[in-house]
Each structure stands twice: as structure tokens, then as C-alpha cells.
Amino acid sequence: DNLADGHDNNFNSSANIYNQGLNITDAFITYSLAELGVLPGTTIALIMNDSENGTNTVVVESRRELEDVLENISYNIFNINGHKGVYLYDVDANATHITIYRTPTNALYIYEIQPWTGQPPVSPESSVGVDHIDHAYDGNNNTSANIFV
């Protein structure tokens, strides 16, 4: 449910795929790349977790529309863990859509799907009481991001 919440730039809402005793391939969300504002052949960041914030498996497929049928052209299997993890996926150059399948055991919450900009997406609520966030991924061992108490 809440499919649009998976790409609304709001880290407090999510698109959800529930585990209702179905086969894993029976529960999924498919987005067109146009809907996501993503070009074929680019890297996207998926911010997601399972409903228990535990370790689980998620399959993401690149698909192309051919004669009104979506066919799988490539996929990746992600081992997710924790809350609101960021996972990078290379969308196939021939793709028109991506499909995300639910985890084998728990519901999957997809908070955001965004084009990868080279730095982690930061939600406003995760940056309260901090400074120099960009130092966490600048490749310089002499700088640091800081969290204040």
C-alpha cells in the first residue's frame, strides 16, 4: 500500500509490501522509471528495511516493457539489515520499470527511491544535533561528522 510514499521525498512515510503467507513472487511493487524520475542505466538509492528492522533478503529487478508485457532483464539480491538502510542498485540501460519483491518473512518498508547523487540521502530527522554530515563520507580520515548530546 501507499505506493507513492516510496518516492515522495518524505523519510517518515513508506510504501509497504506485506507478508500475507503468499509466495515471495506474489507480493511486489513495480514502478515505472518515469514515475521515479530515474533514467535507464543509472544508479538509484533505495532506503528500506523489513518491518522488524532485522536481517532479510530483497530482490530488485530491472524490467522492460515489450509488447505490453514487462520482462525481467536483470536483478540484484540485497541482504538488508537495520532501520532505513541505503542500498544502491544499477538500473539496466534497457529498463523501463523496476520491481521490488517483499522479504521472505516480514513486511518491507520502502521509504525512498532516489537517483544516487554520490552521497547518502539524509532525512531531516536524522540530522538534528549534528554537524559536518558530509565528512562522514568525504574519504578524509582527518575529518568527522559529529553527533551532539
pLDDT digits (tens, 9 = 90+) for 112-121: 999 998 876 6
Of 89, 86, 9, nearest to 41 by C-alpha is 89
Q: How far apart are CA 16 and CA 14, in angstroms?
A: 6
Say which residues have a Cβ less than 8 Å from residue 120's Cβ, sequence separation at least 6.
45, 86, 136, 137
In a 3-state reduction of DSSP, which class is residue 124?
A: helix
Q: Are residues 56 and 73 in the same domain?
A: yes
The Cβ-side half-sphere exposure at 81, using a 13 Å CA radius, reads 2
Q: Provide the whole-model pTM.
A: 0.73
* Same domain, residue pair 108 and 70: yes
Q: Does 138 lie in the same domain as 94? A: no
**Residue 48 shares a structural domain with residue 77:** yes
Q: Are residues 109 and 145 in the same domain?
A: no
What digits encode the pLDDT tens for the residues 74-99? Answer: 999 999 998 888 999 999 999 999 99
Query: How, if at all, do strands 97-101 and 28-32 pair?
Result: antiparallel
Residues 72, 35 share a domain: yes
Residues 87 and 38 in one domain: yes
Same domain, yes or no: 50 and 91: yes
Question: Can you give the residue range of the structural domain that contains 127?
Answer: 119-149
